[in-house]
C-alpha cells in the first residue's frame, strides 16, 4: 500500500492549502476513494471533473521500509494504542467507531508517526514538520491536543497537556470522573503518566 497526498489547489477559497492523505494500492484508487468522500460531502461533480480539480503526490508507503522501527519507539506506540483502546471503551467512546468496530491506531512508517482514523480509515501524519494536519483529524481541538501529546510521548519529548487542553487531566472530555480516573490509572501502568510518590 502507498500513501498519497491529494490537494485541491484553487478549489477551496477558505483553505487554499487543503489536502488529504489517502492510503491505496495505486494513485487511481486513492483518487477514487477521495472522490467518493468529496461527492458524499455534496461535491456534486463527475469523477472526470473531479480529476481536473485535484493534484496527487505519492509521499510514502503505509508499511515501514527496510529499516526497522526502533524498539523503544514501537513500545511507546504500543502503549499509546493500548491507552487509546481504554479511552475508546469508556465514557463517550472517543477514538472508537461502532459502525466499523475499530479504534484509532498509531503506527510508524517512513520515519514518521501516523494515525489511522477509526471511521473512514483516513490517515493523519503526526509530525511537527508537516503543519495543519489537524484539519484532517475528525475530532476537535481537545483530542487533537491529546494526539500531539501522544506524538511527543512516542518521540520521548515528554507529554500530557503541553499541547493544550490539559491532556488526560482535562475536564473538557464529558467523561464520568470514574472513567477519567480509570484512564489515568491505565496511563500510569503504561508509563505514560508519571506515578507521583509521597
Per-residue model confidence as pLDDT tens digits over 142-192:
888 899 999 999 999 877 677 777 889 888 889 999 999 999 999 999 999
| Inside any domain, residue 195 | no
**pTM for this structure?**
0.69
Give 78-89 pLDDT, tens digit per residue: 999 999 999 999
Residues composing the chain: 198
Domain span at 25:
2-61
Q: How far apart are the C-alpha atoms of 57 and 158, rounded to whole Å?
A: 33
User: 112 and 173 share a domain?
Assistant: yes
Domain count, the chain: 2
Q: How far apart are the C-alpha atoms of 183 and 178, rounded to whole Å?
A: 9
Q: How far apart are the C-alpha atoms of 156 and 158, rounded to whole Å?
A: 6
Amino acid at each position: 500500500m502507498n500513501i498519497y497526498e491529494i490537494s485541491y489547489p484553487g478549489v477551496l477559497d477558505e483553505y487554499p492549502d487543503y489536502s488529504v492523505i489517502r492510503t491505496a494500492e495505486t494513485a487511481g484508487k486513492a483518487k477514487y476513494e477521495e472522490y467518493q468522500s468529496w461527492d458524499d460531502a455534496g461535491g456534486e461533480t463527475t469523477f472526470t471533473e473531479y480529476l481536473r480539480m485535484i493534484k496527487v503526490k505519492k509521499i510514502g508507503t503505509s508499511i515501514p521500509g527496510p529499516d526497522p522501527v526502533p524498539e523503544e519507539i514501537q513500545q511507546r506506540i504500543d502503549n499509546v494504542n493500548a491507552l487509546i483502546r481504554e479511552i475508546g471503551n469508556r465514557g463517550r467512546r472517543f477514538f472508537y467507531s461502532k459502525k466499523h468496530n475499530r479504534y484509532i491506531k498509531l503506527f510508524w512508517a517512513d520515519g514518521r508517526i501516523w494515525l489511522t482514523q477509526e471511521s473512514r480509515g483516513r490517515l493523519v501524519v503526526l509530525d511537527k514538520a508537516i503543519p495543519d494536519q489537524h484539519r484532517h483529524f475528525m475530532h476537535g481541538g481537545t483530542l487533537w491536543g491529546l494526539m500531539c501529546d501522544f506524538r511527543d510521548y512516542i518521540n520521548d519529548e515528554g507529554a500530557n497537556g503541553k499541547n493544550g487542553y490539559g491532556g488526560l487531566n482535562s475536564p473538557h472530555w464529558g467523561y464520568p470522573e470514574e472513567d477519567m480516573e480509570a484512564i489515568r490509572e491505565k496511563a500510569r501502568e503504561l508509563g505514560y503518566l508519571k506515578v507521583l510518590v509521597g
